[in-house]
Structure 1
Amino acid sequence: MKKSAEIKGLPIISIGDGSEIGKVKSLVVNPEKGSIDFLTIEHEVSVKAIPFKKVVGIGEFAVTVETESAVIDLNEIPIANQLVNKKIRINETRVMTRKGQLIGEITEYYVDEENGLILGMDLRSNQGDAYLEAKHVLTFGKDIIVVQEDAMNHYKKSATEAREDVMVEEVKEESAPSQLENIRKEQDSLLIGKKVTKDIYDPTGSVIIHKDTVLEEVHVEVARLAGPSVFVELSMNVE
């Protein structure tokens, strides 16, 4: 389960040739299915996207696809273009019951990274924060999300408490932090001792690791703290 904010801005990496083909610009909602069907890509010329079914994985630092051929031009796929033009957003959208009672506004939503289904949403209301499962949604609209009349009976007062029930994978990571630490150590071991083949810049344009630097643990940590795209850039430019 991933927050939408954790997906936006991630570099998109082609596994086939190990190159970055863009960054995630937005998540395209299919209101009928209650799912994310496409990820749009930041592109200078035209609007491009990747069908969610073509996504291999969504990790901490990148979205991966098999090859660059996974990228499509929206003008060539009518259904994709239609969904983008519907401009369905979830964050900052008001939530109303079937009988017209306004119950709050969505501040974040969660996606199943395996199939793109929207699993639930964080709700802000006058009575506090809550987590609402997507199965209680009747309509994902452009201006309003309509939910079942008894939806308020099915969410918890605390979004954090709700996530402990529905975000099983995150709970496992929290209860076993050593597992995440082992993954990071393995990533570091693949980089430490390698030589950087080009200057590595942070998001502000400053060089943080110079060309020909032999990487030490501190260099890898600096790149990690600079953000996912910087870490991926470093990973792709060592020998």
Structure 2
Amino acid sequence: MSVMKKSNQFIALPIISIADGAEVGHVKSLVVNPKQGTVDFLTVEHGDWQISVRAIPFKKIVGVGEFAVMIEDSTSIFDLTEIPIANELVQKKISVVGAKVIDRKGQLIGETTEFFIDDDNGAILGVELSSPSKKMVLAADQLITFGRDLLVVKEEAQLNFLDREELLLNDSIQDEMEATNEDVVINHVIEKQLALLTGRTTTKDIFERDGKLLFPNGTTLEIEDVRKAQEKGPAVLAELSMNVVG
């Protein structure tokens, strides 16, 4: 299950190569993709690399713990010259922390003091911001634009502040649960179709959408036949369901 981490929990963490059983550097900074609202790379600090800048794609990270970032081996670390998109993102210098937060009507809301990351995929789940009166948390669905010095949010953002950061992960978990429930429903429907059609006999030729014969009249359907019909799409499956007996 995904774990939410603050951006500052990554900084200076040792990077450990599992294959080598050795430390291969420390996390220097997080590279934000402003279009996707994700952390796409971690830049790496190492005493032997004085000139080149190196980075780890977030998707290459095996895990992020309290004491280290784990990667499979040192081949997960790339020179920025090898990854043009990483170099481009670094040059954008998107710094979420310290950015002024304004809504799309130009109203100044506050300044970001932290942001929160899904350690499974690098998605930015939300930001913490401060105003003269208090600190607040804003979920990612209220964010419009990540700029170098500004964070633009929806006009109604001030009506959707959260009391605490933990609620960001609750929303993420809810999304995962809803997706899982949808999968359960779909699987139930598929299994029900298999049970209803297996062993029954077609009363006419059944064709695919492109006109190719799928089952000739009189075919007694095996379970693999029904699965094949399911793969051809709902229109073919409906035609089959209406033209069987037994």
Higher mean C-alpha displacement, 37-46 vs 25-34: 37-46
Q: Partner letter of residue 144 of structure 1? A: L
* Shift of residue 45, structure 1, vs aligned partner: 3.0
Equivalent residue number for residue 78 of structure 2: 72
The reply on whether 1:3 has 2:6 as its aligned counterpart is yes
- Cα deviation, residue 126, structure 1: 1.9
From 115, 130, 138, the equivalent of 2:121 is 115
CA contact (8 A) 2:125 2:169 kept: no
Q: Following superposition of structure 1 onto structure 2, how do residues 40-79 of structure 1 map, counting pairs within 5 Å? A: 40-43=43-46, 44-79=50-85
Which residue of the other structure, out of 28, 33, 38, is the alignment partner of 2:31?
A: 28
Give 1:167 shift.
Answer: 3.8
Distance 2:165 2:25 in 1: 31
**Structure 2 counterpart of 1:33, one-letter code:** Q
Q: Classify the secondary structure of the residue corresponding to 1:105.
A: strand
Separation in 1 of the partners of 2:82 and 2:166? 42
| TM-score normalized by the length of structure 1 | 0.67
- 2:139 partner amino acid: E
Q: Are residues 1:39 and 2:42 paired?
A: yes
**Counterparts of 1:80-119 in structure 2 under 5 Å?**
80-119=86-125
Taking only the aligned residue pairs, the percentage that are identical comes to 54
Give the TM-score taking structure 2 as reference length.
0.65
Which of 154, 164, 167 aligns to 1:162? It is 164
Give the aligned residue type for 1:163: E
Residues 146-186 of structure 1 show CA distances to partners (whole Å, capped at 9, x for unaligned) of: 00000011113xxxx42242345xxxxxxxxxxxxxxxxxx
CA shift for structure 1 position 25: 0.1
Give the equivalent residue in structure 1 for 2:156: 150
Using the alignment, how far apart are the partners of 2:166 and 2:74 within structure 1? Answer: 37
* SS of corresponding position for 1:162: coil
Alignment of 1:83-232 (within 5 A): 83-156=89-162, 161-167=163-169
| Pair 76,45 (structure 1): closer, same or farther in 2 beyond 3 Å | same
How many residues align structurally?
A: 164
Unaligned runs of 5+ in 1: 169-239
Tell which has more relative contact order, 1 or 2 (C-alpha 8 A, sep 6+): 1
For the residue of structure 2 that corresponds to 1:12, the secondary structure is strand
Q: What secondary structure is seen at the aligned counterpart in 2 of 1:80?
A: helix
How far residue 130 of structure 1 moved from its aligned partner, in angstroms, is: 0.3
SS of equivalent to 1:84: helix
* Structure 2 Cα separation of the partners of residues 134 and 167 of structure 1: 11
Amino acid in the other structure paired with 1:152: Q
Tell me the amino acid that sits aligned with residue 12 of structure 1. Answer: I
Matched residue type, 2:10: I
Structure 1 residues 164 and 82 mapped into 2: Cα distance closer, same or farther (>3 Å)? closer
Q: Distance in 1 between matches of 2:128 and 2:60?
A: 27
Cα distance in structure 2, aligned partners of 1:118 and 1:74: 22
Which residue identity is paired with 1:63? V
Q: Which has the larger radius of gyration?
A: 2
